[in-house]
A and B are shown apart, each in its own frame.
Chain A
Amino acid sequence: MNNGRLLAALLGALTLALVAIGTVWPAPSAAAYSGAGSMLRSSSTPQAAVENLGEEIRKQAWEKAYGSLANKAQFTEPEFVKDLTGYSPSLLTYSTLDRFEVRPLHASADEAEMELKLHWATVVGLSVSTRDLHVVRNGDRWEAEWPIVREAMVPPQVIPVNYLRWDVIYRGPGDDWGSQDVEAPHVRIVDMHPVDRAEGVVILGELLNEDVVPAYVSVSATLLSKSQSAIATEGSFDKIDHLLLPKQVTPFLIQFHNVALSDVGSIRMTPLSALIPASADPVVEIASEQLHPAPGASLTGQLINQSGQTVNVAHVLGTFYDKSGQVVWVADQYVDQALSPQTPVPFEIHIPEDLARNVSSQRTIVATYSFGGFQ
């Protein structure tokens, strides 16, 4: 009993001592994250210069970051900030830099090429962007040149938009039970294909709005065992385009973690559709789509907003087919910058390496969201 009390007292004292030591002599990284100190070190090497720049961007110390650049005469500080956080409200506007990686590409005595990979924490998950920086020696210091990307400004103009908008009047609470209501849109699953993956069962498929009105859609699936008892139910969440215009097709992907396909007897699919007000605008062209084989298999392309309204968030969904036309994978990417009118914005969707060799063709769609709009 006495030994136990003694041990407890010793542990308590040791804890207090460690807390005191950590407070008085904190580690540099802890001090930096608490705002009391800085992880910056002398920019005596190209690596250190770019790491310092990344750290200042992470802390949103824009003035210091801009001040450390070698080519700051070529652009203003607001332009530098907008280049990082977006010229229009977008995913990056509401994100913070979670971490960054610096990788040397080439170095000589007076200049170097460095890769800065920025991992942004956005509301839809991590978004990674990469910048190749030219770093130059200035006396005993190294300074990075920021590869500024200015957004192409669309000249002032009026773009007439006369696409359809659908409004809906639903039945009222006082209506008789026999009175009509607006019919929910008719949607149909035109393809469904379960896949056994290391992380569990994945259900891939496509959903068609076969009606003449817009539909809010989602799909859920229930895995049934061989004895027809339910194993699990999952929904497509954001691996689907939730707004389907008439005759539009969306892919969907539903993941079941820690379930083996061999345990599944059958699958019950439940498509859901509801009539919602919607607009056929904006129309986004997906241009220069290119399938890249493994290694680093991906689908790249450009989004071009054909309307006059800025699209704040674009969600690109790619459906990948094999030679027989069967869906082999569905992947997506949120584009972290806004789509200004008539301005191409690149996207890149990664394809799992083991599936990439089976991919023969693809189909890409884009879901758009505009702040203050209907989509």
Chain B
Amino acid sequence: MRTRLTLLLGGLAVAIAQMSFAQDARMRLPTTVEAGSAFSIQSAGNGQATLYIVGLGQVLKRDVQLGESASFLAGSLTSAGHYLVVLAGTSTTQNGSFDVVSAHKPANLSFLAKPSRLPVGLHDGITGAVYVFDGYHNLIAAPTSISFELASPSGTLQKRLVITRNGAAWTVMDSTAQQGIDKFVARVDDLYSTRIVAQVPGDPCGLKMTAQQAGQQVRLVTDPVRDCSGNAVPDGTVVTFTENYNGAQSTVDEPLKNGIAEVEMSAHSGAAFSVASGIVMGNQIRWEK
């Protein structure tokens, strides 16, 4: 059994060596071609033949004079991958193969930044992933240094330098304590891609209201509503006012307007008013005429 296997492997090695020799003798191919660059294929022999270059994304066909070099201009082959070469003459057919690899210089960045909106003060809340492509949209698998920068309007800058692995690099960043529109930039040399990350206020903090008589009603007004970092909670955020009096309850869901919420409710002596927003409770006021 072992003898048969040895013979088989030996025969295969001899066949491959003969094929390589035959290819060298008849058709000279480049080992690799950079996407979009010029290249040539040297044939041997006499007479006319047709040269086919077949890859996953492209096919080239050219009539050639055997014994001469067939030159291909820059931009002929742009899709990276393995290409099969067939030289079909009147009496013989020769074949071989070579690889087209991505260009070294990055030309495009696909930058995925998530999320586009998040609360302030979140550790590792922002993720960025970059895929590096050449000018023909081939993924550049060679290690490339990517610079990630997250800049907030307050001037805070977070910076990370990441080397790509298999064409991709990723990082995580923290959201800062101040709300605003941050610029998230991924950069390679002079090439960059920008994403916008909105840092928004968190839950209201220290929600407080005051009450005052307004005719037959009580006017309840909140202090300017802010989160725990001091950012103003945006207008439109719902604040719920509740009045409890003598077993009856009244509620109003009032959106913030100009940073405060304001409502008028029935003025019953002994009524208890409370305020809340989402799951955050504010203060309570007992109304006595």
Residues of A within 8 A of B (CB): 162-164, 166, 176-178, 180-183, 190, 208-214, 245-249, 280, 283-291, 301, 306, 361-365
Contact = CB atoms under 8 A, between A and B. Distances in A.
Nearest to A166: B236
A246 B257 contact: no
B166 to A, nearest CB: 17
B230 interface: no
B116 A290 contact: no
B267 to A, nearest CB: 13
Contact of B255 (A178, A283, A285): A283
Given A208-B279, A249-B279, A286-B250, A178 B238 contact: no
B113 interface: yes
17 contacts: A163-B257, A164-B257, A180-B195, A183-B115, A208-B279, A212-B117, A212-B234, A245-B237, A245-B238, A245-B255, A246-B236, A247-B203, A249-B279, A285-B251, A286-B252, A289-B248, A365-B253
B116 A181 contact: yes
B204 interface: yes
Nearest 5 CB-CB pairings of A with B: A178-B110, A247-B278, A280-B255, A164-B236, A289-B249
B54 interface: no
Given A283-B253, A289-B249, A248 B195 contact: no
Contacts, number: 103
Among B238, B257, B263, B280, the one with the most A-chain Cβ atoms within 10 Å of its Cβ is: B238
Given A285-B250, A286-B252, A289-B248, A164 B235 contact: yes
Nearest to B112: A178
Interface in B98-118: 110-113, 115-117
B134 interface: no
Contacts of A210: 203, 278
Given A208-B278, A247-B277, A162 B257 contact: yes
Interface of B: 110-113, 115-117, 131, 193, 195-196, 200-201, 203-204, 233-239, 247-255, 257, 263, 265-266, 277-280
Given A183-B115, A208-B278, A212-B237, A290 B247 contact: yes
Nearest to B239: A247
A163 B236 contact: yes
A346 B196 CA distance: 48
Given A162-B257, A183-B116, A289 B236 contact: no
A183 B196 CA distance: 12
A9 to B, nearest CB: 71
Nearest to A209: B278
B251 A246 contact: no
Contacts of A182: 116-117
Contacts of A283: 252-255
B217 to A, nearest CB: 11
Nearest to A185: B117
Contacts of A164: 235-236, 255, 257
B197 to A, nearest CB: 9
Among B115, B236, B263, B280, the one with the most A-chain Cβ atoms within 10 Å of its Cβ is: B236
A248 B257 CA distance: 15
B253 to A, nearest CB: 6
B250 A287 contact: yes
Contacts of B110: 176-178
A178 B131 CA distance: 9
A183 B115 CA distance: 7
A175 B117 CA distance: 19
A288 B266 CA distance: 9
Contacts of B112: 178
Contacts of A208: 278-279
Contact of A291 (B113, B247, B250): B247
Given A180-B195, A181-B116, A285 B203 contact: no
B238 A362 contact: no
B250 A289 contact: yes
Contact of B248 (A163, A245, A288, A306): A288
Nearest to A206: B279
Contacts of B193: 178
A181 B238 CA distance: 25
Nearest to B116: A183
B164 to A, nearest CB: 15
A288 B236 CA distance: 25
A353 B238 CA distance: 33
Contacts of A176: 110
A362 B200 contact: no
Contact of B266 (A214, A287, A364): A287
B248 A247 contact: no
A285 B238 contact: no
Given A190-B279, A247-B237, A280-B235, 8 more contacts: A162-B257, A178-B110, A180-B196, A181-B116, A182-B116, A183-B115, A247-B280, A362-B249
Contacts of A361: 249
B284 to A, nearest CB: 14
